[in-house]
């Protein structure tokens, strides 16, 4: 693999063990490192002959913060490093999606991501139709994925068989003046932690490709997330929920809003970490758009006071209210 000249002093066989150990443990040596340099160093040190160094580097790599991995994946990385990231953090959907979008990901890693990704991830990947045109073998990988919905697979299949549809996608790609890695670049002001005028965000987002929107949804700041969570395209709004920087307060507002679509409520309910928060669960149960199968199941976790409010509520499905009343009656009889 190729490594930047400036990094060789940290990872060469002659580098002091003390220096390597510090880097393997993510301690500073000469100053802060960029995420792309740090993950590259950790990847190389994981193969160091000294087991103290290699063990520490593997641990640091496997525990590397997801939001920093997203930053690293925006930059040029060696395909071997990307492959290792995809393997190490396969439970983090946003990281897998960004590995797929990276122009430096090798074909074998792309195949693995498409073949093994859960439905939500595959749905986002399928929106990047240019990728499937560039690499037709990905359709075979998609067909091997038991979690890929039939309608999604057939849609990609039809597009690739239909010369007219294929030409349209290629024409859209050809219209863009920016090619290669830069085609997925997103404005820094929508990634950095600072407030951006909502009107400006809508204007910027309106001119973005699907790939750029997905990338921004996965890594954007709070201002960008607030706009993209409302996107009419389900793949974009769902991608926002996979952004590792999204906060519990944002999730609470989402579950409390009557305008939140069913798909997003379903995704929130699936997240074990978010539903540990009682108020998130209460928001899910109290939201009229939550699927009954989810809200009824969560009634068992409600405090008596909230259960009583749900039983009296006129804003939720009558089946849910009557189920809440039966639970209250059963408790009284005990």
Distance CA 153, CA 191 (A): 32
pLDDT score at 214: 84
Distance CA 305, CA 179 (A): 58
pLDDT score at 180: 47
Helices (H) and strands (E) in the chain, counts: 23, 0
pLDDT score at 175: 52
Distance CA 236, CA 218 (A): 9
pLDDT score at 178: 46
Cβ neighbours for 93, distance < 8 A, ≥ 6 positions apart = 117, 118, 120, 121, 242
Distance CA 277, CA 200 (A): 34
pTM tops 0.85, yes or no: no
pLDDT score at 226: 92
Dihedral sign, CA of 63, 66, 71, 72? positive
Of the candidates 39, 40, 97, the residue with the CA atom closest to the CA atom of residue 68:
39
Specify whether the CB–CB gap between 97 and 121 falls below 8 A: yes
pLDDT score at 200: 83
Q: What is the DSSP letter of 131?
A: H
pLDDT score at 251: 97
User: Could you say which residues of the chain have pLDDT below 70?
Assistant: 163-185, 189, 334
């Amino acid at each position: 693999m190729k490594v930047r000249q400036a990094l060789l002093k940290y990872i060469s066989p002659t580098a002091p063990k003390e220096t390597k150990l510090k880097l393997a443990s993510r301690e500073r040596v000469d100053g802060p490192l960029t995420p792309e340099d740090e993950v590259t160093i950790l990847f190389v040190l994981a193969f160091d002959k000294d087991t103290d160094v290699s063990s520490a580097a593997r641990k640091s790599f496997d525990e590397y913060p997801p939001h920093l991995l997203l930053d690293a994946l925006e930059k040029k990385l060696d395909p071997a490093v990307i492959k290792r990231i995809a393997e190490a953090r396969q439970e983090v959907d946003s990281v897998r999606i960004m590995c797929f979008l990276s122009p430096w990901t090798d074909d074998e890693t792309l195949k693995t991501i498409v073949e093994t990704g859960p439905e939500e991830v595959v749905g986002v990947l399928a929106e990047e139709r240019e990728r499937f045109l560039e690499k037709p073998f990905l359709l075979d990988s998609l067909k091997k994925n038991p979690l890929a919905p039939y309608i999604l697979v057939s849609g990609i299949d039809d597009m690739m068989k239909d010369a007219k549809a294929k030409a349209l996608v290629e024409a859209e790609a050809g219209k863009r003046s920016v090619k290669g890695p830069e085609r997925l670049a997103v404005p820094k002001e929508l990634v950095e932690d600072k407030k951006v005028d909502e009107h400006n965000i809508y204007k910027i987002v309106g001119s973005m490709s699907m790939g750029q929107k997905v990338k921004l949804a996965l890594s954007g700041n709070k201002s960008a997330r607030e706009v993209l969570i409302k996107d009419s395209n389900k793949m974009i709004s769902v991608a926002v929920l996979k952004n590792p920087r999204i906060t519990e307060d944002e999730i609470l507002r989402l579950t409390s809003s009557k305008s939140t679509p069913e798909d997003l409520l379903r995704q929130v309910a699936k997240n074990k970490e978010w539903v540990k928060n009682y108020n998130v669960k209460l928001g899910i149960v109290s939201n009229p758009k939550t699927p009954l199968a989810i809200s009824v199941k969560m009634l068992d976790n409600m405090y008596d006071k909230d259960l009583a409010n749900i039983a009296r509520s006129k804003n939720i499905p009558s089946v849910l209210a009557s189920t809440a009343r039966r639970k209250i009656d059963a408790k009284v009889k005990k």
